[in-house]
Chain A
Amino acid sequence: MGLDIKIPIGLMFCILGAILTIHGIITNGNVEMYEQSLGHNLNLWSGLAMLVFGGFMLLTSSLVKKKKKE
Chain B
Amino acid sequence: MQTSFSLATLDWIVILIYFIFVLGIGWALKKHMKDATAFLEAGRSLPAWVTGLAFISANLGALEVIGMAASGAKYGMMTVHFYWIGAIPAMIFLAIFMMPFYYGSKARSVPEYLKLRFDEKTRGFNAFAFAIMTVFASGISMYALALLAQVIIPLEIDWNFLGIHIGEFDFYLFVSAIIVLVYMVLGGLTSAIYNEVLQFFLIVIGFAPLVIIALTDIGGWEGIKANLPENMMHSWKFAGNADANPMGVEWFGILVGLGFVLSFGYWCTNFLVVQRAMAAGSMSAARKTPLIGAIPKMFLPILVIVPGIIALALTNTGALELPLKEGTMTTDFDKVIPVLLMKYMPVGVLGLGLTALMASFMSGMAGNVSAFNTVFTYDIYQSYINPKKTDKHYLKVGQWTTVVGVLVSILTAYVARSFNNVMDFLQLIFAFVNAPLFAAFLLGMFWKRTTGHAAFWGLISGTISAAFHHGLTLPYGGIAGVKGGYFGVIHTYPSEMAQNFWTAIYAFTAALVITLVITLLTKKLKTDEELKGLVYSLTPKIQDDSKYLYQKPGFLAIIVGAVALALSIIFW
Contacts and interface: CB of A to CB of B under 8 A. Distances in A.
A1 B205 contact: no
Interface size class of B (residues with CB under 8 A): 35 or more
B444 to A, nearest CB: 31
Contacts, number: 98
Nearest to B8: A23
B391 interface: no
A63 interface: no
B198 A12 contact: yes
Contacts of A8: 21, 24-25, 28, 194, 198
A5 B38 CA distance: 16
Nearest to B198: A9
Contact of B32 (A2, A37, A49): A2
A12 to B, nearest CB: 5
Given A2-B31, A8-B198, A42 B25 contact: no
Interface residues of A, number: 30
Contacts of B50: 5
A46 B28 contact: no
Interface string B339-376: 00001111111001000000000000000000000000
Given A8-B25, A40-B213, A19 B10 contact: yes
Contact of A16 (B17, B46, B194, B343): B17
A43 B46 contact: no
B280 to A, nearest CB: 11
A2 B209 contact: no
Given A15-B17, A36-B343, A46 B201 contact: no
Given A1-B46, A5-B197, A53-B205, A33 B347 contact: yes
Contact of A36 (B42, B190, B198, B344): B344
**A interface secondary structure, majority:** helix
Given A15-B17, A23-B10, A53-B205, A43 B346 contact: yes
B484 interface: no
Given A1-B43, A5-B50, A9-B201, A38 B216 contact: yes
Interface of A: 1-3, 5, 8-9, 11-13, 15-16, 19-20, 23-24, 27, 33-34, 36-38, 40, 42-43, 45-47, 49-50, 53
What are the 10 closest A-B residue pairs judged by CB atoms, nearest first? A2-B32, A43-B348, A12-B21, A42-B349, A1-B190, A23-B348, A5-B194, A3-B28, A42-B209, A46-B349
Interface of B: 10, 13-14, 17-18, 21, 24-25, 28-29, 31-32, 38, 42-43, 45-46, 50, 190, 194, 197-198, 201, 205, 209, 213, 216-217, 343-349, 352
6 contacts: A1-B32, A19-B10, A38-B344, A42-B349, A43-B347, A43-B349
